[in-house]
Structure 1
């Protein structure tokens, strides 16, 4: 049962990143606006979208799950900074906290490993 739960958790986390990749690559405008508001080059949307997609695949298929989970946890903590907008949009604070929660789940995954269902 542990291995099935591990795989299910990996798939659910991966779906979040896959959705983010599709959103960034299909309609980059909103993310480019957020990136530009921080003074960063909007072209970053493309490598970030690809990074999200590749990470999603790696979380599900299993190669180096521990390392991918650690990198993705750091990514979630780093990108949460984009959502710390208390006065501009309070809903973004919820996304900030969600990113930290996902990072926590990824750290647990990094500690436990991919289970039996991984390459």
Structure 2
């Protein structure tokens, strides 16, 4: 069946672009993330490990290697980063908060499903 492998490939690529573009955004405008971190009394320098994590995780998803553990880590990352957007008086920030939880759910689904057939490390067929 081609639908499942294609769906998993597209899912990996869509999630990858989100995190790859997130790393670019952090590189081009680290001040925005630094403000969010400072607003929650977290060290502003955490923007740089977050950038590296986003970049590496995105590349891993594109390649389809270590998909399950990385997707699980990305789900946790999304839950943690959602907390920076929990500002009930700001509708825009609350929409980002909810979006991060939705992305976490998608990452958990990808962690459960694996990379699919079209990956450098495809799932092994069940015996």
* TM-score, length basis structure 2: 0.90
Matches within 5 A, 1:54-93: 54-87=56-89, 89-93=90-94
Q: Quote the Cα distance in structure 1 between the aligned partners of 2:96 and 2:62.
A: 23
Residue number in structure 1 paired with 2:27? 25
Residue number in structure 2 paired with 1:104? 105
**Shift, 1:5, TM fit:** 1.2
Kindly report the root-mean-square deviation, in angstroms, between the aligned alpha carbons of the 2 structures. Answer: 0.8
Q: Quote the Cα distance in structure 1 between the aligned partners of 2:110 and 2:44.
A: 32
Asked if residue 115 in structure 1 is aligned to residue 113 in structure 2, the reply is no
Bigger Rg, structure 1 or 2 = 2
Alignment counterpart, residue 39 of structure 1, candidates 41, 47, 52: 41
Unaligned runs of 5+ in 2: 121-127
Q: Quote the Cα distance in structure 1 between the aligned partners of 2:118 and 2:19.
A: 20
Q: Quote the Cα distance in structure 2 between the aligned partners of 1:30 and 1:36.
A: 10
Asked if residue 2 in structure 1 is aligned to residue 39 in structure 2, the reply is no
Q: How many residue pairs are counted as aligned between the two chains?
A: 118
**Shift, 1:35, TM fit:** 0.7
Residue number in structure 1 paired with 2:125? none
Q: Give a deviation string over 1:25-66, Cα, whole Å, max 9, x none.
A: 111011111111111111111110111111111111111100
Unaligned runs of 5+ in 1: none
